[in-house]
Structure 1
Amino acid sequence: MKNVEIYIKSTCSFCVKAKNLLKQNNIKFKEIFVENSTANLSKMIKRSKKTTVPQIFINKVHIGGYEDLIIFLKKNI
């Protein structure tokens, strides 16, 4: 998989789970922290239409959150 981006907060347990799931599947990803960056938060909301984290994009396509990632990986790996 190419170009995986995950919008996260450092205190988010679902963010940690999503990152661990990506790591377990040997998928490299870019972390984008939103807690101290209003610019990153605004971009995440604009792209995903969601205010919760994590928000995951694969090849610029919005996958969703942690549970959505589980479903996506089951179908695509």
Structure 2
Amino acid sequence: MAEVTVYTTSTCPWCLKLKDFLQDEGIPFDEVNVGLDSAGAKRMVEITGQRSVPVTTIGDQIIIGYDPEGIREILNSSEG
């Protein structure tokens, strides 16, 4: 399975929803709280060109916002 990283903040309700989705689906992920991790925040902006969260990276694919179907689609295509 491709490596999944989720960029979040502590106050973002969509971030919480995304993390709940990933946990419910049994999808392992690394979390970078950009509110607490300035290097992580800089990396997220370099990758996406924006500061809004949540952002999910799956390998070299980027999903901006809460998009469970997009995440499933990328993970399913990377398993094939």
Q: TM-score range by the shorter chain?
A: 0.7 to 0.9
Q: Is the 8 A contact 1:5 1:31 kept in 2?
A: yes
Q: Deviations over 1:9-66 (max 9, x none)?
A: 1111110000011111110000011102222111101101221111100113112221
**Displaced runs of 4+ in structure 1, greater than 6 A?**
none
Question: Aligned in 2, Cα 1:63/1:31: closer, same or farther, shift over 3 Å?
Answer: same
Equivalent residue number for residue 26 of structure 2? 26
Q: Is the 8 A contact 2:56 2:62 kept in 1?
A: yes
Question: What is the 5 A alignment of 1:46-57?
Answer: 46-57=46-57
Q: Could you tell me how far apart the structure 1 residues matched to 2:28 and 2:36 are?
A: 23
Question: Aligned in 2, Cα 1:65/1:20: closer, same or farther, shift over 3 Å?
Answer: same
Give structure 1 stretches of 5+ with no counterpart: none
Q: Could you tell me how far apart the structure 1 residues matched to 2:37 and 2:64 are?
A: 20
Give 3-state SS (helix, strand or coil) of 1:6's partner: strand
Q: Could you tell me how far apart the structure 1 residues matched to 2:42 and 2:73 are?
A: 30
Tell me the CA shift for residue 74 of structure 1.
Answer: 5.1
TM-score (ref. length: structure 1): 0.83
Give structure 2 stretches of 5+ with no counterpart: none
